[in-house]
Amino acid sequence: MSLRVGIIGAGPSGMAQLRAFEAARAKGADMPEIVCFEKQSDWGGQWNYTWHTGIDGSGESAHSSMYRHLWSNGPKECLEFSDYTFDEHFGRPISSFPPRAVLFDYISGRVEKSDVRKYIQFNTAVRWVNYDESTEEFTLFSQDVKTGESTSYVFDKLVVSTGHFSTPNIPEFEGINTFPGEVLHAHDFRGAERFAGKHLLMIGSSYSAEDIGMQAHKMGAASITLSYRSAPMGFDWPSSTVERPLVTSFEGSTAHFSDGTSDDFDAVIMCTGYLHKYPFLSSELAVNSPNVLYPGNLYKGVVWQQNTNLFYLGAQDQYYTFNMFDAQAWFARDVMTGKIALPSEAERAADIQSWLDAQAAIPDHDGEADFQTDYVRNLIQATDYPEFDLDAVGTLFKDWMRHKSEDILGYRDKAHRSVITGTMAETHHTRWINAMDDSLERFLNGPSQNMNTHAM
């Protein structure tokens, strides 16, 4: 009997796992029996945009947290697949910070070419998984979200690739129940147009607060206040944007901050991050971690320590994305097929601990990028995933962070060089601050919009 592999989720991580098996098949390996379960009607995970918030059209929780006008927040050269380059997909240089639809097109193009769609059961949510220690088999219960029909499957290996930026972390604040304006979490944010002329309060000080805040600025918000718990982001913000310490309470439309100041707001957006949530797994199989670069209990960040038939992809906080998921998927594949022999439980525990120790010693953001560069390198060296210059990618991350410090509204106008093809990105036809059409067609074909310099 051939190996039976279940994959939960057909976002970039699940797509990477399918591609990993297909790449081995193309070199003559046996293809396992694979079923990939995807609760949405298409692949792409977060990149599969939907206007739905809360509950989607099938009565499931809406998965994607992405919004209109989301442009890549890191250089595309940092996430390029080494076995499917941007040049191969687009046939010409494109700029370094494409909008969502362009990256969706890129990741779709690779798996369409690999003919792996046939392994995916769309509109199928995984409801529960049991593991039988004696037979070493998983029994998975799924449900067709359109018809309600439920089915069970048995697998030898299980890959969890359901992402961890979908279940919002929602803190409470005194008085917020009577705040008269809109209160939402970043997960439910779909566009900033309606905030034109409004005074916005964003709680949180990471990627979502920064980007949604600057989206709101781009769309004409009157003011943006970013409220931090630990530390301000400290960018050179436009003059209508300020950072304040944490909100302590609300009184009507007034927010009070821990430095004794207060202000009135029209809307509050909680950019307070996400929870790891695996409602189909019992607690002894589920990652339980804050959003960090190395969640514990996963050997090489992939293999569940107490059950080595269980694999997680993309469970980390992410500098690297698509190519890291590849590195993980190639590694998981080789462990599943026995090409990589796992060390003893004690040796795995020591390896996990060494990564946790290194994580605890990370001094700054540059150090975070270095940490994940080392992590991806460690995985790639173990498999036949095509190698690429990871140190050069690490340098790109640092350049990108420096550009953000220099010009938070202008860093997406920079062009970077591919470390894989050597191709220099095009300077985009429209500055990000002026780009009001985020479609694939507009991105690829122009014509140029207003090229005025933005005002800070």
Task: Give me the residues that bind ligand NA7 (CB under 6 A), please.
Answer: 73, 165, 169, 171, 186, 203-208, 229-230, 246, 271-273, 291, 318
Q: Which is nearer to ligand NA7, 34 or 369 (CB)?
A: 369
Give backbone dihedrals phi and psi of 278, rounded to 5 degrees, phi first.
Answer: -130, 75
Q: How far apart are the first and last CA of the chain?
A: 64
CA atoms of 357 and 362, how far apart (whole Å)? 9
Compute the least distance from the CB of residue 10 to ligand FAD, in Å. 6
Mind giving me the DSSP string for 226-278?
EEESS--------TTEEEEE-EEEEETTEEEETTS-EEE-SEEEE---EE---
Residue 161 interacts with ligand FAD (CB under 6 A): yes or no:
yes
Q: Which is nearer to ligand FAD, 45 or 250 (CB)?
A: 45
Q: Which is nearer to ligand FAD, 14 or 295 (CB)?
A: 14
H/E segment holding residue 392: helix 390-406
How, if at all, do strands 247-251 and 267-270 pair?
Answer: unpaired
Compute the least distance from the CB of residue 138 to ligand NA7, in Å. 29
User: What angle is formed at CA 7 by the lines to CA 34 and CA 24, rounded to 5 degrees?
Assistant: 55
Compute the least distance from the CB of residue 272 to ligand FAD, in Å. 13
CA distances to 29, 327, 335, 336, 423 from 159, rounded to whole Å, are 19, 14, 12, 10, 34
If DSSP codes are grouped into helix, strand and coil, which group holds residue 168?
strand
Long-range contacts of 230-236 (CB under 8 A, 24+ apart): 230/205, 231/205, 232/205, 233/205, 233/206, 233/209, 235/210, 235/404, 235/405, 235/408, 236/405, 236/406, 236/407, 236/408, 236/456
Q: Which is nearer to ligand FAD, 125 or 302 (CB)?
A: 125
Compute the least distance from the CB of residue 257 to ligand FAD, in Å. 26
Q: Which is nearer to ligand NA7, 58 or 169 (CB)?
A: 169
Q: Which is nearer to ligand FAD, 39 or 414 (CB)?
A: 39
What residues between 425 and 454 interact with ligand FAD by CB under 6 A?
none
Residue 45 binds which entry of ligand FAD, ligand NA7, none, CB below 5-8 Å type-dependent: ligand FAD
Which one of 37-45, 249-257, 304-312, 442-450 is the stretch in contact with ligand FAD (CB under 6 A)?
37-45
What residues between 316 and 375 interact with ligand FAD by CB under 6 A?
318, 321
Q: Which residue has the tokens 């190395």?
A: 294
Residue 13 binds which entry of ligand FAD, ligand NA7, none, CB below 5-8 Å type-dependent: ligand FAD
For CA atoms 197, 201, 205, 211, give the dihedral sign: negative
Residue 301 interacts with ligand FAD (CB under 6 A): yes or no:
no
How, if at all, do strands 167-168 and 274-275 pair?
Answer: antiparallel
From 354, 422, 364, 414, select the one nearest 392 (Cα to Cα): 422
Of positions 7, 32, 62, 63, contacts ligand FAD by CB under 6 A: 63
Mind giving me the DSSP string for 306-374?
T-TTEEESS-S--SS-HHHHHHHHHHHHHHHTTSS----HHHHHHHHHHHHHHHHT--SHHHHHHHHHH
Residue 135 backbone class (left: φ over 0; alpha: ψ -120 to 50; beta: rest):
alpha
Compute the least distance from the CB of residue 163 to ligand FAD, in Å. 2
Range 222-239 burial, b when 16+ CB lie within 10 A, else e: ebbbbbbeeeebebebbe
Q: Which is nearer to ligand FAD, 83 or 255 (CB)?
A: 83
Q: Which is nearer to ligand NA7, 6 or 98 (CB)?
A: 98
Compute the least distance from the CB of residue 301 to ligand FAD, in Å. 12
Residue 8 binds which entry of ligand NA7, ligand FAD, none, CB below 5-8 Å type-dependent: ligand FAD
Residue 162 interacts with ligand FAD (CB under 6 A): yes or no:
yes
DSSP secondary structure letter of residue 305? T
Of positions 5, 6, 7, 9, contacts ligand FAD by CB under 6 A: 9
Of positions 5, 7, 72, 333, contacts ligand FAD by CB under 6 A: 72
Residue 11 binds which entry of ligand NA7, ligand FAD, none, CB below 5-8 Å type-dependent: ligand FAD
What residues between 97 and 126 interact with ligand FAD by CB under 6 A?
125-126
Q: Which is nearer to ligand FAD, 8 or 379 (CB)?
A: 8
Compute the least distance from the CB of residue 28 to ligand FAD, in Å. 28
Q: Which is nearer to ligand FAD, 81 or 265 (CB)?
A: 81
Q: Which residues bind ligand FAD (CB under 6 A)?
A: 8-14, 37-40, 45-47, 63, 65-66, 72-74, 79, 125-126, 161-163, 165-166, 280, 314, 318, 321
